[in-house]
Amino acid sequence: MLKEFSKSILCIGAGYVGGPTMAMIAAKCPQYKITVVDIDRDRIHRWNSDSLPIFEPGLDKLIETARGRNLFFSTEIDVGIRDADIIFVAVNTPTKTFGQGAEKAADLQYLEKTSRQILAHSTSDKIIVEKSTVPVRTSNAMERILNGGKNNVRFDVLSNPEFLAEGTAIKDLENPDRVLIGSRETENGIKARKEIVDIYANWVPKEKILESNTWSAELSKLTANAFLAQRISSINAISALCEKTEADINEVAAAVGMDSRIGSKFLNASVGFGGSCFKKDILNLVYICQNYDLHEVADYWESVVKINEWQEKRFVRNMLSSMFNTIAGKKIVILGFAFKADTGDTRESPAMYIVRGLLEEHAQVVVCDPKALGNARNDLKDVPGDLLAFEEDPYEATEGAHAIAILTEWEEYKNLDYERLLSSMVHPSFVFDGRNILDHQRLFEMGFNVYSIGRSPLKHFR
Ligand code: UDX
C-alpha cells in the first residue's frame, strides 16, 4: 500500500453500484486510496474518460474531484486484490436463466468466481464487503470459499447492502436514510464492522449507521425492495379499480398517503415498476421462501411481480381497445423508454414490454427518449427496422402518428407543445399517459382523447 494513504480500498465491479459508491467514498475520504476494477475493459476505459459509462446527476463532478487523486479505475484485478485492505464486491447477481431456480434464484457464479480470485491473489488479511444484493446467507458461502484456502490469510466477510436509487444515486449516497453494516458477532467480525463504520462516519451521522448481524443485513435489502415494489403494485391494483368506478387514483393516493402510518411517497400509479432490482430481488425472496417450504409467503411476494406484469399487459390492452381494437399499421410514439426519469437505464423497463406488445399487434412504433435511446436500440435489436424507429425529437417522431404513450416521467415531456404535436397527428389523436404526468383536462380540451392510469378516460366519442 502506498504510504500517503491510510487505507487501500478495492471495489470489484464498476457498475451502477460500485462506480458511484466508490466515487462518493473517494470524494469524502481523501485519506483512502480507492481502486475500482472490472473485467470489462471498455467500461473501465469510459470511467477514465469524459464519457462515463453511466449517467447519474452529479456523478461527473464527484469523479472530477477524486479521479487521479485517490480514485483509480483499472482492469488489473489481481494487483488490486493484493494491495487492498478492504474489498467491496459489487459484481452483478442477475436472475438465473438456467437449471434449478431458473427465472427466480440469483445467479451467483460471478460472486463465486470473484471469491476464488480474491483467495488466489491475497497475501494479507482482508475485510470483504458484499455490496451486491444477494440471497440470505450468501456471505456464508463466500466465507467458506475464502477461508478454505491454505495461504494463512484471514478474511472477514461483511454485508453492506446498497440502497441507492438510480437517478438520485449521488444524493442518496451523500445523505443516506441509513447505512447498514452486518457482520458476524464474533470479536473479529465486530472489529471488521467497526472499520467499515469508520469509513462511512467520515460523512454520515453516526445515528444513521446501523449495525446488525450479517443475515439481517442481507435480508433487509431484499425486504426493503420487496416493500417498495409492493407499494407500487398495491396502488396499481387499485388504479384498475378506479378506472372501473370513476374514482380517481390521484385522489385516492393523496387521501391514503396522508395517513402518517402509510406515508405519501412511492404511491404514484404507473404503467409498472422496472429497474434492475425490484423484480430480481422479489423473485429471489420467493425462491428462498420456497426453499424453506414457506410457500404461502412465497406466493404472497410473487403476487407483487404478477400484478406488475398484469399492469403492463393491461396498458397495451387498453391502448388496443381504445383505438377501435386495431393498431395494425398505426404509428404510435413512445415517449420515454428508461425505466424511470433521470436515467438512461432500461433494464426491466415497462416500456420494453409495452413496445413488444404493440409490435405484436403490428403497430408502427417510434421510440423517443432523451437518455436511453442507445440502450433501447440494443434491447430491441431483434426487431426488424421497418416496424420500429428511434427518434430523439418528439416533434419529428409524432408527425403522422395516431397516438402518443408516455412511459417515462421525463420533465421535458410535461412541457412539450402539445398543440403543435396534435396538429401534426392523424385524427382522432390519442394520448396514453402511463405516468399521470400531464394535464389531462387541458389535452382533452385541445382535442386529444386522453387515457391515463386509474382515472376515467376523457374522449370525444362514446
Ligand atoms: C430501487 C430502490 O429504490 C433502491 O433502494 C434499491 O437499492 C434499488 O432498487 P431503482 O431501481 O433505482 O431503486 O428505482 P426506484 O426509484 O425505486 O423505482 C423503481 C421503479 O418503480 C421505477 O420504474 C419507477 O418508475 C417505479 N415507481 C416508483 C412507480 O411506478 N411509482 C412510484 O410511486 C415509485
**Which of 59, 278, 314 to probe ligand 1 with, by most ligand atoms within 8 A of CB?**
278
Q: What is the CA radius of gyration of the chain?
A: 24
Q: How far is the CA of 241 from the centre of ligand 1 (A)?
A: 23
The pLDDT > 90 percentage for the chain reads 87
Task: Identify the band that residue 3 occupies on the pLDDT scale cut at 50, 70 and 90.
Answer: low
Query: Residue of the nearest CA to atom 2 in ligand 1?
Result: 165
Ligand 1 pocket residue status of 166, Cβ below 6 Å: yes
- Over residues 408-417, the pLDDT tens digits come to 999 999 999 9
Tell me what pLDDT residue 72 has.
Answer: 98
32 strand-pairing partners: 7
- Over residues 354-405, the pLDDT tens digits come to 999 999 999 999 999 999 999 999 999 999 888 999 999 999 999 999 999 9
Q: How far is the CA of 261 from the centre of ligand 1 (A)?
A: 20
Ligand 1 pocket residue status of 163, Cβ below 6 Å: yes
Q: Report the alpha-carbon distance of residue 322 to residue 451 in Å, rounded.
A: 9
Tell me what pLDDT residue 31 has.
Answer: 97
Tell me what pLDDT residue 358 has.
Answer: 98
Query: Residue of the nearest CA to atom 25 in ligand 1?
Result: 340
Tell me what pLDDT residue 290 has.
Answer: 95
Q: Which residues are catalytic?
A: 277
Considering the entire predicted model, what is its pTM?
Answer: 0.93
Q: What is the mean pLDDT of residues 296-325?
A: 98
- Over residues 50-96, the pLDDT tens digits come to 999 988 899 999 999 999 999 999 999 999 999 999 999 999 888 88
Q: Report the alpha-carbon distance of residue 208 to residue 187 in Å, rounded.
A: 23
Position 243 pLDDT exceeds 80: yes
Q: How far is the CA of 158 from the centre of ligand 1 (A)?
A: 26
Tell me what pLDDT residue 202 has.
Answer: 98
| Residue 340 alpha carbon, nearest atom of ligand 1 | 25
The pLDDT > 70 percentage for the chain reads 99
Query: Residue of the nearest CA to atom 7 in ligand 1?
Result: 163
Task: Identify the band that residue 441 occupies on the pLDDT scale cut at 50, 70 and 90.
Answer: very high
CA angle at 131 for the pair 126 and 133, rounded to the nearest 5°: 135
Q: How far is the CA of 47 from the centre of ligand 1 (A)?
A: 25
Tell me what pLDDT residue 105 has.
Answer: 79
Ligand 1 pocket residue status of 162, Cβ below 6 Å: yes
Ligand 1 pocket residue status of 270, Cβ below 6 Å: yes
Q: What is the mean pLDDT of residues 128-156?
A: 86
Ligand 1 pocket residue status of 268, Cβ below 6 Å: yes
Q: How far is the CA of 275 from the centre of ligand 1 (A)?
A: 7
Tell me what pLDDT residue 25 has.
Answer: 98
Ligand 1 pocket residue status of 257, Cβ below 6 Å: no
Q: What is the mean pLDDT of residues 174-178?
A: 98
Q: What is the mean pLDDT of residues 1-19?
A: 88
Tell me what pLDDT residue 377 has.
Answer: 97
Ligand 1 pocket residue status of 410, Cβ below 6 Å: no
